[in-house]
C-alpha cells in the first residue's frame, strides 16, 4: 500500500486548511457564504473530529506560499480538508504540494461553485483530491471529516 492508503502509519490528525478571505466569514457576502464565522467552522470541525477520536489542526492564511507550507506540515496526517478559496482556481503550486505530500485531501467549498461564475467551475485541486464537497456551507467541512473517519474505519 502507498502512504495515501496505509492507515497504520497515519496519525489521528486532520489538517483543516483555509485560504484567502475565509477569515472574513460571517461578514463577507453572507448571502453567498452565510453568517457563520471561521471560529464557528473551527468549532464544528473539532466537534466532528472528536466524535471520531480524531484531532484537528485548523489554520487559515491569505498567502499562497504559507498555504503550501501548511500542506507540507500535514505530512503523516490522516487527511487534509482544504478550502483554498480563490486559489482553487489558480494554483498549480497547491496541487503540486498536495500531490507531493502523499496525504489524502478532500476539497471543500462553502458555496456550490458550479452554480456560480464559470471561472469557479475550474479547479486545479480536484484532480489530486480524494473527493470534493461543496454547497453545504460549514457542513461541507463536517462531511469531509466524517468521510475521513469512515475511510479509516473501512477495510
DSSP string, 62-114: S-HHHHHHHHHHTTTSSEEEEE-GGGGGT-HHHHHHHHHHT--EEEEESS-GG
Q: Which tens digit of pLDDT belongs to each residue from 1-30? A: 333 444 444 589 999 999 999 999 888 766
The grid coordinates of residue 101 equal: 505530500
State the maximum Cα–Cα separation within the chain, in Å, rounded to a whole number.
44
CB count within 10 Å of CB 67 equals 25
pLDDT at 69 over 70: yes
- Catalytic annotation on 109? yes
Whole-number CA gyration radius for the chain: 14
Q: Which tens digit of pLDDT belongs to each residue from 33-67? A: 667 899 999 999 999 999 999 999 999 999 999 99
Superfamily (CATH H level) for 7-153: Dehydroquinase, class II (3.40.50.9100)
Q: Which one of the listed residues 33, 70, 87, 141 is annotated catalytic? A: 33
Q: Which one of the listed residues 15, 87, 109, 141 is annotated catalytic? A: 109
- Where along the chain do its domains lie? 7-153
What three-state secondary structure class fits 155? coil
Q: What pTM did the predictor assign?
A: 0.87
What three-state secondary structure class fits 15? strand
Amino acid at each position: 500500500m502507498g502512504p495515501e492508503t496505509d492507515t497504520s502509519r497515519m496519525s489521528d490528525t486532520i489538517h483543516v486548511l483555509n485560504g484567502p478571505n475565509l477569515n472574513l466569514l460571517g461578514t463577507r457576502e453572507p448571502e453567498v457564504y452565510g453568517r457563520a464565522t471561521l471560529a464557528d467552522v473551527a468549532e464544528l470541525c473539532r466537534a466532528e473530529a472528536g466524535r471520531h477520536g480524531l484531532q484537528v489542526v485548523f489554520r487559515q492564511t491569505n498567502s499562497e506560499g504559507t498555504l503550501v507550507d501548511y500542506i507540507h506540515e500535514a505530512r503523516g496526517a490522516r487527511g487534509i480538508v482544504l478550502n483554498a478559496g480563490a486559489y482553487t482556481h489558480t494554483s498549480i503550486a497547491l496541487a503540486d504540494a498536495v500531490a507531493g505530500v502523499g496525504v489524502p485531501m478532500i476539497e471543500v467549498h462553502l458555496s456550490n461553485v458550479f452554480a456560480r461564475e464559470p471561472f469557479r467551475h475550474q479547479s486545479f485541486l480536484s484532480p489530486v483530491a480524494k473527493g470534493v464537497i461543496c454547497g453545504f456551507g460549514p457542513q461541507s467541512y463536517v462531511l469531509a471529516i466524517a468521510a475521513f473517519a469512515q475511510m479509516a474505519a473501512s477495510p
